[in-house]
């Protein structure tokens, strides 16, 4: 059976509220969606709770999926939004509400940015650890922009911040990642 046919069968089964097919969907996507949740929560229990809430939302919204785009991408967006909702709800380290005037164009070395991208590609675990060390607001904006591919306008609307704040938080996240990765590379070389 082709993957698309299997996916359609699973989704149709989930729409019919079949526990068997819901369990199959959960089994297929648990790892990928847990990784999404862990990008937003440094605490595994919080990530697990977001994962469960995300799957509930997926099951509730399956009728909206029309098979025109990537199902993985559709689910990832639901899980990212669920994680952001959980962060807001828990009010743990709320997103900093800077003004546009607070945005300062920082000098950022493009060669260093290339190193960061290379490190993320080749050392996923090390990169994930570095991302987890970012403050919640920087980590959230970084994940939404770099990994989930939201625009600064979408991030601003989603988080209730200005576009300038989104840009500023991304810039600061990159600089903090640069610092953490440089420190880690020095440690690894010893």
- pLDDT over 70 percentage in the chain: 76
CA distance 122 to 26: 28
User: What's the pLDDT tens digit per position in 69-115?
Assistant: 889 889 999 999 999 888 888 764 444 444 444 444 445 556 666 66
DSSP of 127-156? HHHHHHTS-HHHHHHHIIIIIS---HHHHH
Is the model's pLDDT at 158 over the cut of 70?
Answer: yes
Give the integer Cα–Cα distance in Å for 18 and 29: 17
Tokens 């369990």 locate to 23
Place of tokens 């959980």: 86
- The mean predicted confidence, pLDDT, of the chain is 80
- Is the model's pLDDT at 160 over the cut of 70? yes
> Which ranges in the chain are annotated with CATH 1.10.10.10?
100-189
The pLDDT value recorded for residue 130 is: 77
Q: What is the pLDDT of residue 103?
A: 44
pLDDT of 190 reads 47
**Two tokens, residue 116:** 């960061």
From the CB of residue 172, how many other CB atoms can be counted at a distance below 10 Å? 19
Confidence (pLDDT) at 3: 74
Query: Residue 13 — very low, low, confident or very high, per pLDDT cuts 50/70/90?
Result: very high
Cβ 83 vs Cβ 53: under 8 Å: no
What whole-number distance in Å separates Cα of residue 27 and Cα of residue 112?
38
| 122-150 mean pLDDT | 80
Relative orientation angle of helices 44-61 and 19-40, to the nearest 10 degrees: 130
Of residues 185 and 25, the one with the higher pLDDT is 25
List, by residue range, all CATH 1.10.1740.10 domains of the chain.
Answer: 3-90
Residue matched to tokens 């098979």 = 67
Is it the case that residue 50 has pLDDT exceeding 90? Answer: yes
Tokens of 22: 């819901």
Topology annotation, domain 100-189: Arc Repressor Mutant, subunit A (1.10.10)
Residue bearing the bigger pLDDT, 107 or 22? 22
User: What's the CA gap between 63 and 61, in Å, rounded?
Assistant: 5
pLDDT of residue 109: 58
Average pLDDT over residues 104-127: 58
pTM, to two decimals? 0.61
Tell me the average pLDDT across 50-62.
Answer: 94
**Domain 3-90 sits in CATH 1.10.1740.10:** yes
């Amino acid at each position: 059976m082709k993957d698309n046919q299997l996916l359609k069968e699973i989704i149709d089964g989930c729409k019919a509220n079949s526990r068997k097919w819901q369990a199959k969907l959960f089994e297929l996507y648990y790892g990928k969606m847990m990784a999404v949740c862990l990008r937003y929560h440094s605490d595994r229990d919080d990530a697990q709770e977001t994962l469960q809430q995300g799957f509930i939302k997926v099951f509730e919204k399956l009728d909206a999926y029309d098979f025109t785009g990537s199902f993985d991408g559709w689910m990832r967006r639901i899980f990212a939004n669920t994680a952001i909702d959980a962060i807001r709800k828990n009010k743990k380290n709320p997103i900093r509400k800077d003004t546009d005037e607070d945005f300062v164009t920082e000098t950022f070395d493009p060669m260093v940015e290339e190193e960061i991208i290379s490190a993320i590609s080749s050392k996923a675990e090390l990169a994930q650890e570095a991302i987890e060390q970012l403050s919640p607001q920087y980590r959230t904006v970084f994940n939404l922009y770099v990994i989930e591919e939201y625009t600064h306008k979408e991030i601003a609307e989603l988080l209730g911040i200005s576009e300038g704040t989104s840009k500023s938080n991304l810039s600061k996240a990159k600089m903090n990642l640069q610092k953490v990765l440089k420190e880690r590379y020095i440690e690894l070389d010893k």
